[in-house]
Amino acid sequence: MQDVMRTSCEPRRTEADRSVSRRGPARFRPGVPAYLLHSGAAAFAMALMLHLLVELAVLVDPTDPAGILTALGGMGVVVVTLAPFAVAFAMRAHRSWSGSPRPEGARGP
């Protein structure tokens, strides 16, 4: 590390340094199972969709055709925007519950 303005600091830790702590090698830390996290995310996305659709349905005035079309358009936007996320979270939850591997070429955790 360069000493800039005479303020030296510790060098950045690498992955090898992170795996070995001061007490010894890294240990297994139990956490929330992956299927619970993904199931919760899918349920949250579906609840958000339902909430937004109900809010838009409450705004509909049966005597105003333009208002009905606007509310239906808003509902379509909500579904098109949030449904892929809800489906993806549900698929990830199912995949982690069943223990099947990720599809070929998938990235991320």
Q: What is the pLDDT of residues 17-42, one digit of tens each?
A: 555 555 555 555 566 677 788 888 88
Q: Does 9 map to a domain?
A: no
Mean pLDDT of 5-9: 58
Q: Does 27 map to a domain?
A: no
pLDDT of residue 50: 92
Which has the higher per-residue pLDDT, 106 or 83?
83
Q: Does 22 map to a domain?
A: no
State the pLDDT confidence band at 98, using cuts at 50, 70 and 90. confident
Q: Does 30 map to a domain?
A: no
Mean pLDDT of the residues in the chain: 76
- CA neighbor of 77 nearest in space, from 55, 104, 108, 105: 55
User: Percent of the chain having pLDDT more than 90?
Assistant: 15
Domain count of the chain?
Answer: 1
Residues 88, 46 contacting (CB under 8 angstroms):
no
Minimum mean pLDDT range among 4-18, 54-68, 86-100 = 4-18
Q: Residue 48: which H helix or E strand, with range?
A: helix 34-58
State the pLDDT confidence band at 47, using cuts at 50, 70 and 90. very high
Long-range contact pairs involving 53-62 (C-beta distance under 8 Å, separation at least 24): 53/78, 53/79
Q: Does 58 map to a domain?
A: yes
Domain extent for 84: 38-98
